[in-house]
Amino acid sequence: MIPFNKPHLTGKEIEYITKAVENGKIAGDGAYTRQCEQLLERRYGYRKCMLTSSGTDALEMAAILTGVGEGDEVIMPSFTHASTANAFVMRGAHIVFADSYADHPCIDAGSIESLVTPRTKVIVAVHYAGIACDMDAIRSIANKHQLLIIEDCSLALDSYYKKRPLGGIGHMAALSFHESANVQCGEGGMLVINDEQFIDRAEIIWQKGTNLTACMEGKADRYQWLDIGSSFMPSDIVAAFLLAQLESMNEIQAAYKARWEAYYNALKPLEKEGILELPKIPKHTTYNWQKFFIISRNAEERQELISALKARDTHPLLHYQALHNSPFYRQHHDGRDLPNADRFSDKLLRLPYHLSLTREEIEKVAAIIRRPL
């Protein structure tokens, strides 16, 4: 069987977890938590990193920090995970969905300005599969209308836009370390803050709405409830696992690149024949090789590929339905057609992709796609 995903271990995870236990502090905000945060701050120049229990938690913290509420509007792509929208829907905001580009799933930056109204507060740039959005265009619109930018970098760690790391361009960003990410800890995330005005409140929200951080640092003489918040931070055991992954990032990324290129080269002839489309990496992007997907000619052919792959013990994965057509939010959408988001919903197929995948297995997957029936 060729599974869709299989988490990679570097070999130091258990060693670091054991040390975390021996340190005698395994709750959140411990030594390994700080090491993970500081490593990313140094490597990418992020102003402030805060480890969270998931990428979803990071998005929810970002939504709280934007201050959006009832009547406010948030613009984001329809082709994204439900967590992107949920974070703002939970604050009472109305989601205004934008379409994707025709050739890749990121938000069509050229469509954003027509969606801005006096009620718009935030633009969420989702870097699908680690592929950067057009951040110059998005920043121009945000600056013109005084809007906040949240980068959903759930799977975009170590991708760049014009030599700037994704997650370091917007006011805030959310990273994910889910087991399907290149660098993972099972479940985990990171809130990145690039605008200093949000840091102090973020610390309070992260500490369940209290001033615990200030108390521990001797900056407050009383432990108090100051704001809304929740239990967003993971155990230091999770951070210990993650640190082992982060320290091996260069090797991990090189291994993913080799597998991505093997898929691309094996399937490129089919693209030349017009049988399928391969991922398009814009010139302004330095890619992190996060996932490999293909785009079939129609939904029927995609289903044929799925059936053929599964019949040979190979497991691909459909990705999300565009959120404007989701059962939960359909009645709140303004009725605009978003044809590119629908196209990716119907035609995009993710292939098995992990570091246990051998070249022989990649060739097997490619051979099934070349001759599915």
Segment 78-101, tens digit of pLDDT: 999 999 999 999 999 999 999 999
Residues 166 and 283 in one domain: no
Residues 151 and 52 in one domain: yes
The residues, ordered by sequence, that sit 6+ positions from 277 with a Cβ below 8 Å of its Cβ are: 103, 271, 294, 295
Residues 186 and 264 in one domain: no
Residues 284 and 233 in one domain: no
Residues 232 and 257 in one domain: no
Helix (H, G, I), strand (E, B) or coil at 199: helix
Distances (CA, A) of 127 to 21, 165, 235: 36, 12, 28
Residues 107 and 228 in one domain: yes
Residues 213 and 359 in one domain: no
Query: Each residue of 132-156: pLDDT tens digit?
Result: 999 999 999 999 999 999 999 999 9
Q: What ranges in the chain are assigned the alpha helix state H? A: 13-23, 31-44, 55-66, 82-89, 135-145, 199-206, 212-216, 236-247, 249-272, 299-311, 339-347, 359-370
Q: Whose CA is closest to 133, among 175, 170, 81, 184? A: 170
CB-CB neighbours of 308 under 10 Å: 16
Asked if pLDDT for residue 354 goes beyond 60, the answer is yes
* Last residue in a domain, options 248, 275, 296: 248
Residues 287 and 146 in one domain: no
State the Cα–Cα distance between residues 335 and 311, nearest whole angstrom. Answer: 39
Q: What percent of the chain has pLDDT over 90?
A: 96
CB-CB neighbours of 87 under 10 Å: 28
Domain CATH number, residue 197: 3.40.640.10
Residues 226 and 287 in one domain: no
Number of domains in the chain: 2
Evaluate whether 317 touches 4 at the Cβ level (below 8 Å). yes
* Mean pLDDT score, 179-198: 97
Question: How much is the pLDDT for 284?
Answer: 87
Q: Whose CA is closest to 73, among 35, 33, 118? A: 118
State the Cα–Cα distance between residues 1 and 143, nearest whole angstrom. Answer: 50
Evaluate whether 198 touches 46 at the Cβ level (below 8 Å). no
The reply to whether 4 falls in a domain is no
Domain CATH number, residue 289: 3.90.1150.10
Residues 208 and 171 in one domain: yes
State the Cα–Cα distance between residues 183 and 44, nearest whole angstrom. Answer: 15
Question: How much is the pLDDT for 371?
Answer: 86
The residues, ordered by sequence, that sit 6+ positions from 223 with a Cβ below 8 Å of its Cβ are: 210, 211, 212, 215
What does the chain come to in residues? Answer: 373
**In which band, very low, low, confident or very high, does the pLDDT at 12 lie, cut at 50, 70 and 90?**
very high
Query: Each residue of 201-211: pLDDT tens digit?
Result: 999 999 999 99
Residues 27 and 68 in one domain: yes
Asked if pLDDT for residue 70 goes beyond 60, the answer is yes
Asked if pLDDT for residue 373 goes beyond 60, the answer is no
Quote the mean pLDDT of the chain: 96
The reply to whether 331 falls in a domain is yes
Question: How much is the pLDDT for 372?
Answer: 67
* Mean pLDDT score, 177-193: 97
Question: How much is the pLDDT for 216?
Answer: 87
Residues 54 and 103 in one domain: yes
Distances (CA, A) of 203 to 48, 175, 197, 272: 10, 17, 12, 52
Query: Each residue of 199-241: pLDDT tens digit?
Result: 999 999 999 999 999 998 889 989 999 999 999 999 999 999 9
The reply to whether 269 falls in a domain is yes
State the Cα–Cα distance between residues 81 and 93, nearest whole angstrom. Answer: 17
Q: What percent of the chain has pLDDT over 70?
A: 99
Asked if pLDDT for residue 40 goes beyond 80, the answer is yes
Distances (CA, A) of 212 to 208, 209, 255: 9, 9, 41
Evaluate whether 256 touches 289 at the Cβ level (below 8 Å). yes
pTM value surpassing 0.75:
yes
Q: Whose CA is closest to 176, among 165, 189, 187? A: 189
Question: How much is the pLDDT for 53?
Answer: 98
Give me the domain span that covers residue 132: 13-248
Q: Whose CA is closest to 353, among 132, 77, 130, 27? A: 130
Asked if pLDDT for residue 363 goes beyond 60, the answer is yes
Question: How much is the pLDDT for 184?
Answer: 98
The reply to whether 294 falls in a domain is yes
The reply to whether 329 falls in a domain is yes
* Last residue in a domain, options 248, 282, 309: 248
The reply to whether 297 falls in a domain is yes
**Alpha-carbon Rg for the chain in angstroms:** 21
